[in-house]
Amino acid sequence: MLSARPTGMVNCSDPGIPANSIRQSKIEHGNFTFGTVVFYDYCGHPGSPPNGVLTGEKFTFGSTVRYSCLGGRQLKGESSRMCQLNGMWSAPMPFCSGEHFKP
């Protein structure tokens, strides 16, 4: 037995956005559409150099981590790195050079 299809306009509520994602929207023929969901990439733990300190707890797209060195050593490389959409960090991991500073 076939049932009749409902007629008229159906209004669906916004389905939301999954965690760690963005929604790209567009307008077609004057009508707004929610578009597709694009997931952010996860860069993974960025690493911490020997004699260094990593500051930052999020490793998803747009997150920034910062580095510093212990014992008077000098940081060589970028002091901060950002997780990019391609899942890679924006710069190589820096390192700490020099001998431990003794006052």
Task: Answer yes or no: is 6 within a domain.
Answer: no
Task: Answer yes or no: is 62 within a domain.
Answer: yes
Give the domain CATH number at 79. 2.10.70.10
Write out the residue range of the structural domain in which residue 56 sits: 52-97
Exposed e or buried b for every residue in 6-29, given b needs 16+ CB within 10 A? Answer: eeeeeeeeeeeeeeeebeeeeeee
H or E stretch including 13? none
**Residue that is written with structure tokens 């920034």 in the block:** 64
How many whole angstroms separate alpha carbon 18 and alpha carbon 2?
Answer: 37
pLDDT tens per residue across span 9-46: 555 565 565 555 555 555 566 665 655 555 557 899 99
Count of the separate structural domains present in the chain? 1
**Residue that is written with structure tokens 């929207």 in the block:** 25
Give the pLDDT score at 39: 56
pLDDT tens per residue across span 36-84: 555 557 899 999 999 999 999 999 889 999 999 999 999 999 999 999 9
